[in-house]
């Protein structure tokens, strides 16, 4: 089970709320753009001359690209929402 996201807290010694929230929002926007780009990649067995490679390639694609990018999106979204509520 994934641990709860540890979010920054707006305080007098820290970054300005708008600047900090803007940084996370900008990163979230770019990750969302990347998700759209990744969705455009269509893996198909015919692109792998050795058909035994396709299932492995598909699993690698999910583990190395799809899952991490969605994890990044969820993480940045949690922080952005949290900051907006402070």
Pairwise CA distance, residues 53 & 73, whole Å: 29
Total of domains in the chain: 1
53 occurs within a structural domain = yes
Closest among 14, 12, 15, 25 to 82, alpha carbons compared: 25
pTM for the whole thing? 0.88
11 is a domain residue: no
Q: pLDDT tens for residues 44-77?
A: 999 999 989 999 999 999 999 999 999 999 999 9
The parent domain of residue 51 ranges over: 17-84
> Do residues 1 and 75 touch, judged by C-beta distance below 8 A?
no
Q: Does the residue 49 lie in any domain?
A: yes
Question: Is 79 a member of any domain?
Answer: yes
Per-residue pLDDT tens over the stretch 73-82? 999 999 999 9
CA 73, 79, 82, 86 torsion-angle sign:
negative
């Amino acid at each position: 089970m994934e641990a709860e996201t540890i979010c920054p807290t707006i305080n007098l010694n820290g970054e300005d709320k708008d600047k900090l929230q803007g940084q996370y929002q900008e990163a979230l926007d770019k990750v969302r753009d990347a998700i759209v780009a990744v969705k455009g990649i269509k893996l198909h067995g015919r692109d792998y001359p050795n058909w035994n490679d396709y299932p492995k390639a598909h699993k690698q694609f999910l583990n190395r690209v799809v899952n991490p990018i969605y994890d990044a999106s969820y993480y940045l979204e949690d922080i952005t929402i949290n900051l907006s509520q402070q």
